[in-house]
Amino acid sequence: MSTQVTSRPASPPPPNRVRWRVPVRLRKSILVTHIVSAGAWIGIDVLAVVLVAIGWARAGDDRATVYQALADFFVVPLLLTALIAGVVCLITGLLLGLATKWALLRYWWVAVKLALNVVACAMMLAFLGPITELSTGEQPLADIWFVSFLAATALALLSFATVLSVFKPWGRVAPQAA
């Protein structure tokens, strides 16, 4: 009597399977770093919006003084810090996507957050040149609009990303096979 062994077809992985297992403490450390870097980034953007608004509220020479101080002490050093915070937020977000059930492109809210982070970092890189020209005096102080645009847009994007993190809307990117 012979027995025939039949192999079963490979079943799809469980829906919440994590691709990269990390110890709980490391995952929590990455999560804390992600949250802190996002918070720092938001704080820098709030500061930028407030300083530009103060400059707009001033008249004449006061406005030029505020904008020059903004260019000298805030724009370049803190926007570079914001860029670093953005990159840290991006890297930790990628690590969390690989190390948690949410994955990188499994859920819409995660994919949108990833896209928002990349767009915000790219905006900072694109505006860093003109902002540096402003701080060196190569560009007139009246051209401060891009600082306010950058700060307000980044603040809106980061606030939306925070809302996505809390509410986790829209479900899966691709419906799960039955």
Q: What does pTM read for this prediction?
A: 0.76
Q: What pLDDT digit, counting tens, does each position of 134-169 carry?
A: 656 665 555 567 767 777 888 899 999 999 999 999
Beta-bridged to residue 58, according to DSSP, are none
User: What is the predicted pLDDT for the residue at 164?
Assistant: 94
